[in-house]
Amino acid sequence: MANVKILLVKDENLEPRDIKRILESFGFEVPHVASRDDAVDKALKIMPDLILMYMVLEGHIDDIEVVSKIKKLNIPVIVLTTHFEGSEIENSKVAEPYDYIIKPYDPTKFKHIIELTIYKDKMEKEEFLENIVENIPNMIFIKDAQKLNFEMINKAGEELFGHSKEEILGKNDYDFFPKNEADFFTQKDREVLHNRILLDIPEETLETKNFGQRILHTKKIPLLNKEGNPEYLLGISEDITELKKAEKSLAKAYDELELKVQERTSEILRSKEELRLTNLYNRELLEVNIDPLVTIGPDGNITDLNKAVELVTGYSRIQLIGTDFSDYFTDSDKAKAGYEKVFREGFVKDYPLEIQHKNGNITPVLYNASVYKNEKGETIGVFAAARDISQLKRAEVKLEKLIGKLEISNKELEQFAYVASHDLKEPLRMITSFLQLLKMRYADNLDEDANDFINYAVDGAKRMDNMINDLLEYSRVGSQKREFKYFQCEKIVELVLTNLKPLIEDHNAIVTYDSMPIIYANEHQMVQLFQNLISNGIKYSDKEITKVHISVIKKPDEYVFSIKDNGLGIDKAHLKRIFTIFQRLHTRAEYDGTGIGLAISEKILHQHGGKIWAESELGKGSTFYFSIPIP
Ligand code: ADP
């Protein structure tokens, strides 16, 4: 057996030279180490085919250890020993050497044992390797370098091809795969063999009989002969179809995820932008608002404000923020009380305060404020808007002044009317008296025309007297203080009807009335009022039987009386005009009167805090309404 390397591990007690000589005579190469302690290192260095080791089995635990270590290197060990006993052998089983050679050595047997051991070891190793190749899950194949026919293929290859070893061996790629694939494999094979290098093909497709198209990761290596020429081609292919599929779906999932992330990102950006714009918009709204707006924290300090606040206080935003809001009012206690009220009740409405400008100017305002809350619903502050009411206040003052002036001028006017009418009466009385005297004394001496003229003049003077009386009456309504009391209204109506008895009879009139309430008013003026309205109802009628009905309805805070007649009616266009002094819709020749009754009635109602109005249509009768407040 040529080239067999046997490492001899010597022992000083035994004579190794005989052994070495014997072994070398068989043609073995016999390197040696003097001590068993060096055996493992040496073996690692020279990797012998076999180790021969002297061993005194009895009690030598070190020897057993060395044998165990050598065995781990996968090198067969043969133990040389001087004597043999079953129990000792049993002891050394731990190390399980290949065999024992016991002195005295029989060279022939010795040779046999060595050759057998080496052969057995080789066979075992080959089998082991074959087993690996056969069972490895990757396809392993060998092709001959000339024809590229398969020389060997493992189980994984058979499965992938869908053919048995017998069917595959001796054939080439064209026998199993489509031309384009076989061309590709062949080209790669040739490349490997030509360049004599390992070729890594990360991805190649293989159309298989049983599993459809598979994707392989293949490595191809040339196997060279002693002369260095390629004799075979070794290929190892890993089926990466599932990996690729997983990679693909992973990539797809990743793409989808990426897309979603992008969508979500742009959504966030969009809503962020929207939010920014909304904030900006809200901010703008707040800023352009002419009303001073502030937000106040729970400690009463200003947290935000708009431009109007700066203008009304004279302080800048930076100066205002963080300061006590109540400092900017003429009455800071009242401001604080208002703020506490908002916290207590959730809001305040039209809370009056005065803002003090740093230059001393005062702005009267009405505050409307409400609490604002965080997402958890906790109150975190107050939002307050002030409405500047200085103009309103100024207008109010102006109005009051104007009313005052008007009252004075009314009073003066009434005074004037009273005085004028009173003073006019005297000369009028003189005119009338002298006219009558003239008539009495000279009636017979004057011609008919002159008498008529005197009559006209007397008539005119009488009319003027009536008008002056009415005017006096009218001015008296406003100028005199009247006593108000509760009384039964029915009594008034009855009194008026008694007063109007001649008129009622004259006109063949029927006056009816509902049950009347107790009212709070001036009795005398109520008589005047009812008398004016009832007499008008009777007077302005062309009916055979004139009907007048008085009714009343009670409203929450007033009585509304109505006096309805079936008379002439009034054109809608004149319904307002008739309440003006001396305004009449009929001539004196048609219906007697001075045109002051409704004006007086209106004045009476104003004095009572009530109103008068009429509803009518020409030819369809009229209804006069008036209201008297219920105190
Ligand atoms: P007078 O009755 O003295 O003319 P009033 O002030 O009482 O004065 O009335 C003003 C005018 O309103 C009357 O001249 C008449 O033309 C009209 N008027 C008042 N009451 C009625 C009524 N009930 N029906 C129709 N016309 C009326």
Q: Is the pTM of this model over 0.85?
A: no
pLDDT attached to residue 94: 45
pLDDT band at residue 79, thresholds of 50, 70 and 90? confident
pLDDT band at residue 130, thresholds of 50, 70 and 90? confident
pLDDT attached to residue 361: 92
Report the separation in Å between the CA atom of 570 and the middle of ligand 1, taken as the mean of its atom positions.
9
Q: Whose CA is nearest to atom 19 of ligand 1?
A: 536
Whether 536 is in the pocket of ligand 1, judged by its Cβ within 6 Å, is: yes
Which atom in ligand 1 lies closest to the alpha carbon of residue 470? 3
Report the separation in Å between the CA atom of 595 and the middle of ligand 1, taken as the mean of its atom positions.
7
Q: How many residues does the chain have?
A: 631
Q: Whose CA is nearest to atom 8 of ligand 1?
A: 595
pLDDT digits (tens, 9 = 90+) for 526-537: 999 999 999 999
Report the separation in Å between the CA atom of 50 and the middle of ligand 1, taken as the mean of its atom positions.
153
Report the separation in Å between the CA atom of 584 and the middle of ligand 1, taken as the mean of its atom positions.
6
Whether 579 is in the pocket of ligand 1, judged by its Cβ within 6 Å, is: no
- The pLDDT of 371-394, averaged and rounded, is 85
pLDDT at 89 over 60: no
Q: Which of 474, 533, 578 to mutate to test the pocket of ligand 1 (most atoms within 8 A of CB)?
A: 578
Whether 586 is in the pocket of ligand 1, judged by its Cβ within 6 Å, is: yes
Whether 532 is in the pocket of ligand 1, judged by its Cβ within 6 Å, is: yes
pLDDT at 104 over 70: no
Whether 153 is in the pocket of ligand 1, judged by its Cβ within 6 Å, is: no
- The pLDDT of 67-77, averaged and rounded, is 79
Of 213-227, 358-372, 433-447, 522-536, give the lowest mean pLDDT range: 433-447
pLDDT attached to residue 183: 95
Provide DSSP, 117-169: HHHHHHHHHHHHHHHHHHH-SSEEEEEETTT--EEEE-HHHHHHHTS-HHHHT
Query: 359-365, long-range: CB within 8 Å, 24+ apart, which pairs?
Result: 359/314, 361/314, 362/330, 363/312, 363/388, 363/390, 364/388, 364/389, 364/390, 364/393, 365/292, 365/389
Of 48-62, 102-116, 266-280, give the lowest mean pLDDT range: 48-62
Three-state SS for 317?
helix
pLDDT at 166 over 90: yes
**11 vs 315 pLDDT, higher one:** 315
pLDDT at 18 over 90: no
Whether 618 is in the pocket of ligand 1, judged by its Cβ within 6 Å, is: no
Separation between Cα atoms, residue 560 and residue 628, nearest integer Å: 7
pLDDT band at residue 440, thresholds of 50, 70 and 90? confident
Of 95-109, 373-387, 422-436, 545-559, give the lowest mean pLDDT range: 95-109
**422 vs 251 pLDDT, higher one:** 251
Report the separation in Å between the CA atom of 513 and the middle of ligand 1, taken as the mean of its atom positions.
21
Q: Which of 530, 531, 564, 584 to mutate to test the pocket of ligand 1 (most atoms within 8 A of CB)?
A: 584
Report the separation in Å between the CA atom of 617 and the middle of ligand 1, taken as the mean of its atom positions.
14
The H or E element that residue 234 is part of is strand 230-239
Which atom in ligand 1 lies closest to the alpha carbon of residue 584? 14
Q: Whose CA is nearest to atom 14 of ligand 1?
A: 584
pLDDT band at residue 4, thresholds of 50, 70 and 90? confident
Provide DSSP, 85-123: -HHHHHHHTTT--SEEEESSP-HHHHHHHHHHHHHHHHH
Give CA separation, 326 vs 158, 331, 336, 512, in Å.
95, 8, 6, 66
What is the overall mean pLDDT for the chain? 86
Tokens of 155: 């189980």
Contacts of 617 (CB under 8 A, 6+ apart): 569, 570, 572
Q: Which of 387, 390, 384 is nearest to 305 (CA)?
A: 384
- The pLDDT of 149-164, averaged and rounded, is 93
DSSP class of residue 357 equals: P
pLDDT attached to residue 487: 94
Report the separation in Å between the CA atom of 484 and the middle of ligand 1, taken as the mean of its atom positions.
28
pLDDT digits (tens, 9 = 90+) for 264-282: 888 888 887 777 777 766 7
Q: What are phi and psi of 461, to 5 degrees?
A: -65, -40
Whether 581 is in the pocket of ligand 1, judged by its Cβ within 6 Å, is: no
**144 vs 419 pLDDT, higher one:** 144
pLDDT band at residue 522, thresholds of 50, 70 and 90? very high
**260 vs 601 pLDDT, higher one:** 601
Whether 369 is in the pocket of ligand 1, judged by its Cβ within 6 Å, is: no
Report the separation in Å between the CA atom of 601 and the middle of ligand 1, taken as the mean of its atom positions.
12
pLDDT band at residue 620, thresholds of 50, 70 and 90? very high
The answer to whether residues 545 and 552 touch, using CB atoms and an 8 Å cutoff, is no
pLDDT at 222 over 70: yes
Report the separation in Å between the CA atom of 589 and the middle of ligand 1, taken as the mean of its atom positions.
14
**593 vs 476 pLDDT, higher one:** 593
The answer to whether residues 82 and 55 touch, using CB atoms and an 8 Å cutoff, is no
Report the separation in Å between the CA atom of 578 and the middle of ligand 1, taken as the mean of its atom positions.
7
Whether 385 is in the pocket of ligand 1, judged by its Cβ within 6 Å, is: no
Tokens of 311: 């203008």
Provide DSSP, 360-425: S-EEEEEEEEEEEE-TT--EEEEEEEEEE-HHHHHHHHHHHHHHHHHHHHHHHHHHHHHHHHHHHH
Tracing tokens 């060595």 back to the chain, one arrives at 114
Q: Which of 124, 70, 76 is nearest to 101 (CA)?
A: 76
Tokens of 244: 């690729």
Report the separation in Å between the CA atom of 417 and the middle of ligand 1, taken as the mean of its atom positions.
22
Going by their DSSP bridges, the two strands 6-9 and 32-33 should be labelled as parallel
pLDDT digits (tens, 9 = 90+) for 170-191: 999 999 999 999 999 999 999 9
Provide DSSP, 513-569: E-PPPEEEE-HHHHHHHHHHHHHHHHHS---SSEEEEEEEEE-SSEEEEEEEE-SS-
Whether 578 is in the pocket of ligand 1, judged by its Cβ within 6 Å, is: yes
pLDDT at 70 over 80: no
Report the separation in Å between the CA atom of 279 and the middle of ligand 1, taken as the mean of its atom positions.
67
Whether 568 is in the pocket of ligand 1, judged by its Cβ within 6 Å, is: yes
- The pLDDT of 558-586, averaged and rounded, is 93
Q: Whose CA is nearest to atom 13 of ligand 1?
A: 584
Give CA separation, 507 vs 221, 494, 563, in Å.
143, 18, 17
Report the separation in Å between the CA atom of 455 and the middle of ligand 1, taken as the mean of its atom positions.
27
pLDDT band at residue 376, thresholds of 50, 70 and 90? confident
pLDDT attached to residue 97: 56
Report the separation in Å between the CA atom of 597 and the middle of ligand 1, taken as the mean of its atom positions.
8
Q: Which of 202, 200, 201, 187 is nearest to 148 (CA)?
A: 187
Whether 621 is in the pocket of ligand 1, judged by its Cβ within 6 Å, is: no
pLDDT band at residue 435, thresholds of 50, 70 and 90? confident
pLDDT attached to residue 47: 87
- The pLDDT of 516-525, averaged and rounded, is 94
Percent of the chain topping pLDDT 70: 92
Of 11-20, 203-212, 222-231, 321-330, give the lowest mean pLDDT range: 11-20
